[in-house]
Structures are given as C-alpha cells and as structure tokens.
Amino acid sequence: MTAKVLRLNKAGTPIAWLTRQQAATLLVKEMVIWSLGDRVLEMRGGYNRHGERSVLRLPSILACEGKVHADHCQPPLENGFLFRRDQNLCMYCGNAFATASLSRDHVLPLSRGGQDVWTNVVTSCRRCNNRKADRTPEEAGMHLLAVPFAPNQYEFLYLSNHNVLADQMEFLKARFSRFMS
Ligand SMILES: [Zn+2]
C-alpha cells in the first residue's frame, strides 16, 4: 500500500491524509508552511533538457495555510473504524475475529433508547451479539472488556489509514487518549 502524507493545519492539528500527488501539488503551489518528519517520500518527475530526471522530495508530515477549525467534527461511525478501534476483538469474549465475522453491538440496545454513537457501540462477534440480544450487558450477565470511546482527531486519522509511517505514528500517538492502546 502506498504511504500517504499527513496534512496539518497551520495550528499543527492533523486534518487529513494526502496522496503523493496532492502533497506534490501543495508543494509546487508553495502552500506548505512547514514540514515535519524525517521520512521522505520521493516522487520522480520528468526529464529536463540535460537528460536529468527531476525528483520531488515529499515530507511525511506537512502543514498548510487555510482555516483553523477549533471544533472538530465527530469521526463518522463506520464499522471499519469501529472494529479497528477495538483491534478486531470481541469486547465480550475477548477473541479476535476477521472483519466479516464481527458486528456492531449497541451496549444499551437501540430498542431500549440506546443511541448509535461511538460511546454506545462496541465490536462484538456474532455469537456474543446474538447471546446478548435485546439486553444490557448486566442483564445478559456479560462483562464488557473496555469502555467504548469516541476517537479524537489524532486517533481517527490513525484508524483511517492502514499504512501509517513510523514518524507519523509517533506524531499521532503523542495525542492519543488513555483509552487507545
Ligand atoms: Zn464474542
């Protein structure tokens, strides 16, 4: 999988993953204010008239001009992100499963007024989900292994990229909440 470039706003908050092409465009347009990270991605360009091939060096983390949004929108609640938050573990039996065998469990069931929000959903294997049925964990006598939490911006960017480079990981991990291991 191709590595991506982490884009920050000018306040230093990560906002998105860029493809190499998008990052190169920002560099060429001189929209990059500063960059971080020692890992450099190289992009080969065209040949000049001396027969030399140009090389564009991309930083793994860069900051651009643009609006600074103080309040970040809540990351979308999608099963892919949810399962990754819980490391593909069933939060009831603790076993690891392939994505296809996992489901979204509402800790307080929807039928009982529970909401479809990050803090009320956990990864569950189908067996545990069926066993729990329309009950709370207490009623079902099932123990929840971890408290469900809403990922912050740093955690969400980690969850949304399966190929985070070491220095990008170091940058993001510095602001992980205590919930995220
Ligand atoms: Zn289970």
Domain boundaries, the chain: 5-67+160-173, 79-140
Q: Cα(129) to centroid of ligand 1, in Å? A: 7
Tokens 């090389």 sit on residue? 55
What topology does CATH give the domain 79-140? DNA Binding (I), subunit A (1.10.30)
Q: Cα(105) to centroid of ligand 1, in Å? A: 11
What does each of the 181 residues of the chain score in pLDDT, given as a tens digit?
Answer: 688 999 999 889 999 999 988 998 998 889 999 998 877 778 777 787 888 887 888 999 999 987 666 555 678 999 999 999 999 999 999 999 999 999 999 999 999 999 999 999 999 999 999 999 999 999 999 999 999 999 999 999 999 998 999 999 999 999 999 888 6
Q: Cα(103) to centroid of ligand 1, in Å? A: 10
| 14 DSSP 8-state letter | E
Report the pLDDT value the prediction gives residue 50, as an integer from 0 to 100: 83
Report d(CA 47, CA 67) in Å as an integer.
36
* Best CA proximity match to 40, nearest among 61, 69, 67, 63: 61
**Residue list, CB under 5 A from ion ligand 1:** 90, 92-93, 125, 128
Q: Cα(162) to centroid of ligand 1, in Å? A: 24
Q: Cα(131) to centroid of ligand 1, in Å? A: 9
Beta carbons within 10 angstroms of residue 30's beta carbon: 8
Report d(CA 79, CA 85) in Å as an integer.
10
Q: Cα(5) to centroid of ligand 1, in Å? A: 36
Q: Cα(90) to centroid of ligand 1, in Å? A: 5
Written as six digits, the tokens of 150 are: 């809403």
pTM equals 0.83
Report the pLDDT value the prediction gives residue 69, as an integer from 0 to 100: 60
Written as six digits, the tokens of 125 are: 């294997």
Q: Cα(96) to centroid of ligand 1, in Å? A: 8
Q: Cα(89) to centroid of ligand 1, in Å? A: 8
Report the pLDDT value the prediction gives residue 54, as an integer from 0 to 100: 78
